[in-house]
Structure 1
Amino acid sequence: MTVSVETRRSRVTVYAKSTAPSLTPVKPGKSHEFTALDHSMSRHSVHLVCYYRQAPTVTMAALKESLCDVLSYYPAMTGRLVKNEGEGCGEWMVKCNDAGVRMVDARADATLDEFLASATDEEERQLAYWEDVESDPYLWSPYCVQFTDFKDGSMAVGISCTHLHADPTCVAVFARAWSDTHRRDLITCPPFFHPWAFYPRKNPVPSSPHLSEKSTSTPPMPPPAMSSVTFAFSASSVRQCLADLQLSNLSPFDALASLLWLRISSYKNASLGTSQLTLAVDCRRRMSAPLPLGFYGNALHFFGVKADLSSGWSHIASELNRHMSGIKEDDVWSSVEWLHERSKEKAFQMYGPELTCLAWDNVPVYNAEFSAGAIPVHVGCRIGNAQGDGLVVIMAGAPGEGEESRTVIVTLPTDLTAKIYRDEAILKYGPKIMFSPNI
């Protein structure tokens, strides 16, 4: 289907804004504090979009009712930012005051299938409404929930929030809790509000050479215009990647992350050599005492991987595998403690300015079933303000595509995006291209 530029820009229309409060009032005086890791993410935002086909019980009115219901379990979401007047004086905290979350109603002038087949990256961004912090944060909602109706009765549910509050896993778990509540089931992964789980150890050893280097990096000014493209790799495509690598014990993540790293770098450098990639990995389940999946806040570990790109794809994939499997809990704690030590200083760019890859394919994102058995047909995740060399998000693919399927969302400077989504080395594996830039 061919869609004109003018039509694309107008297919998503916001027609109403309101506030969703929780059904159960919070107790007076309740607050939620952030960790140093939370504060380090304050320059970014998280945007999750789930697409659903028409279902009798999944109407906008019913979803709004269940949203208010589930918010009773998430007082930090409905609160507002204030300055901490206690021990962490000067830092942000949440005053849980039942102010509610921003709610947005929209419509798309297309059926769901038409939209998935022809929408640009900018149109998908329009499905997850977001407002930057206002001059008075006490009036600003750190969460926005958007409902978008398609012409065939299908719907997209977009959830946006400041990364200060939550990482992508936290947002996905909330979507699952919301769907459980909508079906009147028990919440599978209830929220775990214990920020002290990421406070420094009794004998801290603050050390993070990678974050220390990142904190002094200077992003390009002015920042380049960024755009995105989504590659949906089927299970057979990923298996072919692994077969071509001819190495054992590699994961789908190793194969795809190394392929994208190599191909993106090949357009940036005339001669490939030693290069560094920043990896962001959810560490909830990597601790010796694993955190519940419902841990509310940020639990991402950022670290660097170096590889000689001139040695080829197999070498890069092997290096990624070695570093991913070699993550130690002490490394996570030392990084958290380093951030805590410098918590009074200004936050820096966590996603960038160097090329960053979010390893998010071990998190279940297709289990938010608002109607029993009606899973999303597609899920997209973006990170706001990922500037510099770009960001690659690797997440699970749609269940119907097979267990090894993966969705890869690539955000790069626009001139580079135009090259990467036409790259023959990537296209040979037959990924479905979605939400490409309008260039």
Structure 2
Amino acid sequence: MSKTESLVNVHSKLTVVSDKPVEPGKKYPLSILDHAMGLYTLHIVFYYKYDRPQSDDLGRVRESLSHLLTMYPPVTGRLQRRTEDGNWEVNCNDAGVRVLVARVHSTLDEWFRSADGSAERNLTVWEDMPEEDTSTWSPFCIQMNDFEGEGLAIGLSCPHMYADPTCCTTFFKSWTEIDRGVSIAHPPFFHPPGLVSRASPNTNTTSARYYATKSKVEDPSPVKMSTVSFRFSEKMIKQSLSDVQTECPDATPFDLLAAVFWSSAMRVKTPVHDNMCTLSIGIDIRKLMQAPLPHGYFGNALHFLMVSSEANKMDEGGLAYVAGLVHHHLSSYEEEEFWSAIDWLESQKMEGGTYAPPFKMYGPELTCINMEHLFAYQAILVNMKPLHVSCHVGNVAGEGLILVLPSPEEGLGRTVMVTLPEDQSDMLRKDQAIMCLEPTILVSGSL
């Protein structure tokens, strides 16, 4: 056991069920987009700084969480294969959510100064789904981590095919709203048939061809990955935006940061195999459709698209050129691309209607996900906003992952979490283009 691992000591476990029993026989099928994320797991950690008596821990968890779970029957259920086609569904049997309680032998301030990514991993549950019997396995796990002094971190984990970051964050925020006795702002919306292929499918689009190409890429050789978290102030983002907006007047913080980290990642990548640089961009589609889904839509609503450029043009054009490239690609995006990707995924069904095996959605090229919209810092617990929120995607491989997240500072401030091969991650910490934005580097290190 390493020094960082020994800092977190899980001392108790319990299972929390809903206040009211679920109606017998209730099932919840996972959508085609859910199945597509089957290779990954999600792990989100919410940090708070306040003194919470340990004697109140379990009772409070049971009371507020049980009330919330009444609204989320799939969360307390268990995964199973449907007999008719072999696809995944949830048996909503109210088997409960696994809750772990841990003691962290560190203050929160010491943790942010010295802990690395492998230590943060211990604040959430990382378990692979059983290959055969899933009837007793809890897909959703919550870990309560008490720090010495005034500190608490709550880690939420689940298979990615259950939920995306928006869904998980909304679930957690609703829990804090119940805990405070206020109305839930974004109640859950369960409707997986809302994201299915159309009667007249279209697979002749850029997105459909991109997904088809991704599905044929062989798994990359495993390498040790490392995560670094950067926090950027509103002042520095605003200043940098003013520089690029001379050429791209409508550039957003996401356009800017995607450009900065894409360019920097290309510089530290060795070797560069060809002159073309590609970036896969992930966007949440809930509010981008003509008939938008509620924020509380339960499941996955991520769509991936690719932007590319010749390396020499990125070098010559500089940050403004790359930010403009990202912005133009996203602003010219049409909803038909999203639906055609679903049409293509549905077209890959095998005999009997079984969905095809999942492939690398996060990759194989460098992937950047826009999570600016998350309600992470609205998850107020005992009148305290989170001090920091981190998000990890388990089983990421390939060239790496960039997550652009909100920041506790309101306005244009952002947090960026970057997972790259370890040697590249070390160089990224010293990249001049990133350091010019004067970031604060938080919990980071090998995963």
Q: How many angstroms does 1:437 deviate by? A: 1.6
The whole-number CA distance in structure 2 between the counterparts of 1:69 and 1:153 is 27
Alignment correspondent of 1:67: 65
1:348 has 2:371 as partner: no
Q: Name the amino acid aligned to 1:397.
A: S
1:304 has 2:306 as partner: yes
The one-character-per-residue Cα deviations of 1:204-256 (angstroms, maximum 9, x if unpaired) are: 213411111111111222x1111101000111121222233233110011111
Alignment correspondent of 2:380: 369
CA gap of 1:121–1:193, structure 2 versus 1, over 3 A, is: same
Alignment correspondent of 1:268: 269
The whole-number CA distance in structure 1 between the counterparts of 2:23 and 2:53 is 32
Alignment of 1:306-325 (within 5 A): 306-311=308-313, 312-325=318-331
Alignment of 1:143-292 (within 5 A): 143-207=140-204, 208-221=208-221, 223-245=222-244, 246-247=246-247, 248-269=249-270, 273-292=275-294
TM score, norm. by length of structure 1: 0.94
Pick aligned residue for 2:340 from 328, 334, 342:
334
Residue aligned with 1:123, SS: helix
1:405 has 2:402 as partner: no
Gaps of 5+ in 1: none
Q: Name the amino acid aligned to 2:32.
A: A
The whole-number CA distance in structure 2 between the counterparts of 1:163 and 1:243 is 37
The answer on whether the counterparts of 1:146 and 1:157 sit within 8 Å (CA) in structure 2 is yes
Q: Name the amino acid aligned to 1:228.
A: T
Alignment of 1:31-42 (within 5 A): 31-42=27-38
Q: How many angstroms does 1:103 deviate by? A: 1.0
Residue aligned with 2:236, SS: helix
- What is the root-mean-square deviation of aligned Cα atoms in Å? 1.8
Q: Relative to structure 2, which stretch is displaced further, 32-41 or 116-125?
A: 116-125
The whole-number CA distance in structure 1 between the counterparts of 2:37 and 2:151 is 34
CA gap of 1:33–1:144, structure 2 versus 1, over 3 A, is: same
Q: How many angstroms does 1:141 deviate by? A: 1.1
CA gap of 1:157–1:240, structure 2 versus 1, over 3 A, is: same
CA gap of 1:167–1:354, structure 2 versus 1, over 3 A, is: same
Q: Name the amino acid aligned to 1:303.
A: L
Alignment correspondent of 1:415: 423
Q: How many angstroms does 1:269 deviate by? A: 4.9
Q: How many angstroms does 1:438 deviate by? A: 6.2
The whole-number CA distance in structure 2 between the counterparts of 1:145 and 1:395 is 21
Pick aligned residue for 1:12 from 8, 26, 36:
8
Q: Name the amino acid aligned to 1:238.
A: I
The one-character-per-residue Cα deviations of 1:26-59 (angstroms, maximum 9, x if unpaired) are: 0001010111111000100111110111155995
Alignment correspondent of 2:76: 78
Residue aligned with 1:150, SS: strand
Q: How many angstroms does 1:189 deviate by? A: 0.5
The whole-number CA distance in structure 2 between the counterparts of 1:368 and 1:398 is 11
Q: How many angstroms does 1:172 deviate by? A: 0.3
The answer on whether the counterparts of 2:227 and 2:446 sit within 8 Å (CA) in structure 1 is no
Alignment of 1:384-399 (within 5 A): 384-399=394-409
Q: Kindly, what percent of the aligned residue pairs are identical?
A: 38
Q: Name the amino acid aligned to 1:264.
A: A
The answer on whether the counterparts of 1:353 and 1:387 sit within 8 Å (CA) in structure 2 is yes
1:94 has 2:84 as partner: no
Structure 1 runs (4+) greater than 6 angstroms displaced: none
The whole-number CA distance in structure 2 between the counterparts of 1:183 and 1:25 is 24
The one-character-per-residue Cα deviations of 1:359-401 (angstroms, maximum 9, x if unpaired) are: 11122211111223x11011011111111110000011113xx
The whole-number CA distance in structure 1 between the counterparts of 2:443 and 2:224 is 16
CA gap of 1:352–1:17, structure 2 versus 1, over 3 A, is: same
What is the number of equivalent residue pairs in this alignment? 429
Residue aligned with 1:395, SS: strand
The answer on whether the counterparts of 1:262 and 1:309 sit within 8 Å (CA) in structure 2 is no
Alignment correspondent of 1:119: 115
Q: Name the amino acid aligned to 1:169.
A: T
Q: Name the amino acid aligned to 1:21.
A: V
Residue aligned with 2:143, SS: strand
The whole-number CA distance in structure 2 between the counterparts of 1:355 and 1:118 is 28
The answer on whether the counterparts of 1:17 and 1:102 sit within 8 Å (CA) in structure 2 is yes
The answer on whether the counterparts of 2:173 and 2:375 sit within 8 Å (CA) in structure 1 is no
The one-character-per-residue Cα deviations of 1:169-208 (angstroms, maximum 9, x if unpaired) are: 0000001111111112221100000101101223221341
Q: Name the amino acid aligned to 1:127.
A: L
The answer on whether the counterparts of 1:309 and 1:316 sit within 8 Å (CA) in structure 2 is no
CA gap of 1:438–1:163, structure 2 versus 1, over 3 A, is: closer
The answer on whether the counterparts of 1:200 and 1:337 sit within 8 Å (CA) in structure 2 is yes
Q: Relative to structure 2, which stretch is displaced further, 264-273 or 326-335?
A: 264-273
Q: Relative to structure 2, which stretch is displaced further, 429-438 or 23-32?
A: 429-438
